[in-house]
């Protein structure tokens, strides 16, 4: 009961104490002159703050606000999503087509890629077999090979014989 309740007086002033604290504070205020004076000062402070004179509105504030907000309105459409409307009509059509292509084209390409039959991977053995079958009529040692090999033995710097 002797413990001061200064730290509860602000909430007591606002009627924001729970039942237990409220009972404790009220009981203490009846016997403690120091806390009683503090509470009276808090009440006086609140009355003073509530009674502060109304500050005069600056002359022309409403007008200045109006023009500032109107300027903001004029600027606003060029920002964000509304920037679309600042694009000239011919470019707007082109931009719309490009966007549509992107939106529709990409999923379509992806789906087509998934659904269409894929090419089988290169079968090396089959390729060699086919080459050998085709090469039966034309043996590897044909006349072009030696010509190619011999003509390539000289270096560019050495004179041809």
Footprint of another protein on residues 12-31 (CB under 8 A)? Answer: 13-14, 16
Q: How far is CA 113 from the centre of its chain?
A: 30
**Residues 84-123 vs another protein: string with x where CB under 8 A?**
-x--------------------------------------
Q: Is 53 one of the binding residues for another protein (CB under 8 A)?
A: yes
* Residue in 62, 81, 122, 133 binding another protein, rule: CB under 8 A: 62
Footprint of another protein on residues 63-82 (CB under 8 A)? Answer: 63-66, 68-70, 72-74, 76-77
Question: Shortest CA distance to 12 belongs to which of 54, 46, 51, 61?
Answer: 46
**In this complex, which beta carbon is closest to another protein, that of residue 79 or of residue 160?**
79
Torsion angle defined by CA atoms of residues 58, 62, 66 and 69, in that order, rounded to the nearest 10 degrees? 60
Half-sphere exposure of 156 (CA within 13 A, CB side): 0
Angle at 133 between CA 127 and CA 135, to 5 degrees: 100
* Residue in 23, 27, 31, 46 binding another protein, rule: CB under 8 A: 46
d(CA 124, CA 2): 99
Footprint of another protein on this chain (CB under 8 A)?
4, 6-7, 9-11, 13-14, 16, 38, 40-50, 52-58, 60-66, 68-70, 72-74, 76-77, 85
């Amino acid at each position: 009961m002797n413990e001061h309740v200064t730290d509860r007086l602000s909430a007591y002033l606002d009627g924001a104490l729970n039942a237990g604290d409220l009972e404790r504070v009220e009981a203490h205020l009846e016997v403690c002159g120091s806390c009683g004076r503090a509470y009276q000062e808090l009440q006086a402070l609140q009355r003073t703050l509530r009674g502060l004179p109304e500050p005069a509105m600056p002359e022309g504030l409403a007008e200045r606000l109006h023009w500032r907000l109107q300027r903001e309105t004029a600027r606003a459409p060029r920002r964000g999503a509304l920037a679309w409307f600042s694009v000239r009509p011919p470019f707007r059509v082109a931009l719309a087509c490009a966007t549509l292509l992107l939106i529709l084209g990409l999923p379509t390409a992806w789906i087509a890629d998934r659904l269409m039959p894929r090419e089988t991977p290169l079968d090396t053995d089959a390729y060699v077999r086919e080459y050998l079958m085709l090469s039966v009529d034309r043996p590897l040692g044909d006349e072009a090979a030696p010509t190619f090999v011999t003509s390539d033995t000289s270096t560019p710097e050495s004179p041809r014989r």
